[in-house]
Amino acid sequence: AWFGHAVSDDVGMGWLHLVADVAHILTAGVWGGSLLAFCWLLFGSKEAVISEKVLRKFSCIGYAVVTILLMTGVVNTYFIVGSDLKDYTHPSSYVVLIYTKIIVFVAMLLLASFNHFVFTPRLGQRLRDNVSAVKAVQRLRMSIVLEYTLYLVIIGLVAVVGVQSPTPDM
């Protein structure tokens, strides 16, 4: 954050951009680290009961993570793009990468929502009914691995976007 776009702003508002950038990076790390921990939990020798409880508890934290990511993403975009969006309607490589990042982020949100509202409750129900939870755990595994893969794609996109200029004149 200290070497990117956030430090190129005026001193007064630059601090807001820097704080938003740091919060965005740290929060993204929380999401990615959580996904990696879930992979370890779901593929390890842990009981399905523990997995279901942990996933249910993180869902509450997940709302805060997504809210912070959205808010800081909007702040960062405002400071980089400004209020004049006409330069960002034509497909430069920077714009295409940013739109791709947004699309992948939305896909991650959809998977996270599916995990929260479908897969985790289904696992909990199977455990409460003393029915085999193997299929439910497999679906959760597949979904979490796919979500983590999308997370890695976003990290790659951010790495490429970070070395490009947001506008042709910069």
pLDDT, tens only, 25-44 = 999 999 999 888 888 887 87
| Per-residue pLDDT at 4 exceeds 60 | no
Selected residue with higher pLDDT from 149 and 136 = 149
The residue-averaged pLDDT of 43-47 equals 69
Q: Phi and psi dihedrals of 126, rounded to 5?
A: -65, -40
pLDDT at 85: 65
CA separation for the pair 112, 96 (Å, rounded): 24
Cβ-based neighbour number of residue 9 at 10 Å = 15
pLDDT at 75: 87
Selected residue with higher pLDDT from 87 and 108 = 108
Task: Give CA angle at 89 (83, 91), nearest 5°.
Answer: 135
Q: What is the per-residue pLDDT across 96-107, written as a single tens digit (0 to 9) for each?
A: 888 899 999 999
Task: Find, among 115, 97, 100, the residue nearest to 57 by Cα.
Answer: 115
Least trusted range by pLDDT, from 53-57, 102-106, 110-114, 135-139: 53-57
Domain ranges of the chain: 5-80+88-161
Distance (Å) of CA 62 to CA 35, 68, 88, 136 = 11, 10, 30, 21
In a 13 Å sphere around the CA of 144, the CA atoms on its Cβ side amount to: 25
| Per-residue pLDDT at 2 exceeds 50 | no
pLDDT at 167: 63
